[in-house]
Amino acid sequence: MKIGELAERAGMATSAIRYYERMGLLPKAARGANGYREYPEAVLERLNVIVLGQSLGFTLETMRNIMALEGERLKDGLLQGLSSRLDEIDKMMQTLQAQRVGLLEAEERLRASWARNECAKY
């Protein structure tokens, strides 16, 4: 299929497909006699995996590294990638929770200070 059809079926811009190809996330497209890119159906599946990975917070570099693996190494890479991403999310949640507590404490101090007609003290 040509890049326009692939882009339409994948729900993305042709420029994104070209970018993924340059980044090594997609195999180089074959060229027809007219010079147009021709993509096999499997590329659509690969694009769906890329979109899913991005929605889960994976970087394109991480996706490229995982997708370059084959067989058992691919399975191990996927599991390791998922585990690493879960660890990152856990750390972000801890950081966000600490920031939330700090914001609530600052708000409480401000309100108490204003109730006493004082300048806010942090």
Q: What is the pLDDT of residues 10-68, one digit of tens each?
A: 999 999 999 999 999 999 999 989 999 999 999 999 999 999 999 999 999 999 999 99
User: Would residue 25 count as lying in a domain?
Assistant: yes
CA 97 to chain centre: 22
Residue 114 lies in a domain: no
Residue with tokens 């806010």: 120
- By C-alpha distance, which of 85, 74, 5, 81 is closest to 38? 5
pLDDT of residue 75: 92
| Cα–Cα distance, 61 to 81 (Å, whole number) | 12
Average of per-residue pLDDT values in the chain:
93
Backbone angles phi, psi at 29, to 5 degrees: -75, 145
Overall domain count for the chain: 1
Domain membership of residue 51 (yes or no) is yes
Both tokens assigned to 70: 């084959």
CATH number of the domain that residue 20 is part of: 1.10.1660.10
Query: Could you identify the residue written with the tokens 């929770």?
Result: 97
Please check whether residue 122 lies inside any domain of the structure: no
What predicted TM-score, i.e. pTM, was given to this entire model?
0.76
Check residue 121 and give its pLDDT: 62
User: Is the pLDDT assigned to residue 87 strictly greater than 90?
Assistant: yes
Coil, helix or strand at residue 12: coil
Residues 29 and 15 sit within 8 Å (Cβ to Cβ): no
Domain of 50 in residue numbering reads as: 1-60
Q: What are the DSSP calls for 25-44, one per residue?
A: SSPPPEE-TTS-EE--THHH
Residue 107, in any domain of the structure:
no
